Chains A and B, each alone.
Chain A
Amino acid sequence: GENVEQHPSTLSVQEGDSAVIKCTYSDSASNYFPWYKQELGKGPQLIIDIRSNVGEKKDQRIAVTLNKTAKHFSLHITETQPEDSAVYFCAASRGNNQGGKLIFGQGTELSVKP
């Protein structure tokens, strides 16, 4: 079946450094790629998303890039802060807009050390 692979599973950086999380998807019909942040004990919350008609999107310290040919997309966080520590999930839409269904990656636990 279709899947999304996410790497790394854990990532530790020093405050102020950059963090990069990468995902690969298999469904060539996927056209929507959101990223969610989940803090301990809470539900996931959307932080940024990108659609297949653009290659890059930025929102302050967060950026996402998409390479549809290679079926890769990545999350970039610059100038990391301790409050960025959380679990991050990438996701890809299932083809043909099947009711807005998403396939999620396995998650990356990001730790930002002060």
Chain B
Amino acid sequence: NAGVTQTPKFQVLKTGQSMTLQCAQDMNHNSMYWYRQDPGMGLRLIYYSASEGTTDKGEVPNGYNVSRLNKREFSLRLESAAPSQTSVYFCASTRRGLETQYFGPGTRLLVL
């Protein structure tokens, strides 16, 4: 049981490049989330998916898109990366609603 996995672990992009961050969970969870973590700002929700087939915006969705590919996988896409998107990105999942969120190990993204 791997829990929540994220790929890649680390990525360097140039301004304007695009990339997709992958997230998968093997706990049969319904809800999945994407956060970004910046120093002194805690974790901020980018997008979430309450259940398979649904997605919705969080606090900081601008510049990102998501796809809930199936119940297991939830990807985050940066269409045109900007230096302001340099951050650590975490994916999380929960069985449903207000229950324990399980986090992945994170993706460290540097945009030059």
**Total A-B residue contacts, Cβ distance less than 8 Å:** 65
The answer to whether residues A42 and B31 also contact, given A34-B100, A100-B96, A105-B42 and a CB cut-off of 8 A, is no
Asked if A100 contacts B42 (CB within 8 A), the reply is: no
Asked if B48 contacts A101 (CB within 8 A), the reply is: yes
Query: Can you pick out 29 interface pairs between chain A and chain B where the beta carbons lie within 8 Å of each other?
Result: A1-B59, A4-B42, A31-B98, A32-B98, A34-B101, A43-B4, A43-B92, A43-B103, A43-B106, A44-B43, A44-B90, A46-B100, A49-B100, A51-B98, A89-B42, A89-B43, A97-B98, A99-B31, A99-B48, A99-B97, A100-B31, A100-B96, A100-B97, A100-B98, A100-B99, A101-B33, A101-B45, A101-B48, A101-B58
The residues of B that contact A19 with a CB separation of less than 8 Å are: none
Asked if A44 contacts B103 (CB within 8 A), the reply is: yes
The reply to whether the CB of A106 lies closer than 8 angstroms to some CB of chain B is yes
| Docked complex Cα distance between A97 and B40 (Å) | 26
Asked if A97 contacts B42 (CB within 8 A), the reply is: no
Name the distance in Å between B9's Cβ and chain A's nearest Cβ.
10
| Docked complex Cα distance between A101 and B103 (Å) | 14
The reply to whether the CB of A102 lies closer than 8 angstroms to some CB of chain B is yes
Closest 4 CB pairs of A and B: A43-B103, A99-B50, A104-B42, A32-B98
Determine the interface band of chain B, counting residues with CB < 8 A from chain A: 20 to 34
| Per-residue contact bits, chain A 29-41, to B (CB 8 Å; 1 contact, 0 not) | 0011010100001
The residues of B that contact A67 with a CB separation of less than 8 Å are: none
Asked if B45 contacts A42 (CB within 8 A), the reply is: no
Please give the residue numbers on chain B whose beta carbons come within 8 Å of chain A beta carbons, in ascending order. Answer: 4, 31, 33, 40-45, 48, 50, 56, 58-59, 90, 92, 94, 96-106
Extra 12 A-B pairs, beta carbons < 8 Å, given A46-B101, A46-B102: A31-B98, A34-B100, A43-B90, A43-B104, A44-B103, A51-B98, A97-B97, A100-B48, A100-B94, A100-B97, A103-B59, A106-B42
| Docked complex Cα distance between A91 and B100 (Å) | 12
| Docked complex Cα distance between A103 and B24 (Å) | 23
| Docked complex Cα distance between A113 and B105 (Å) | 26
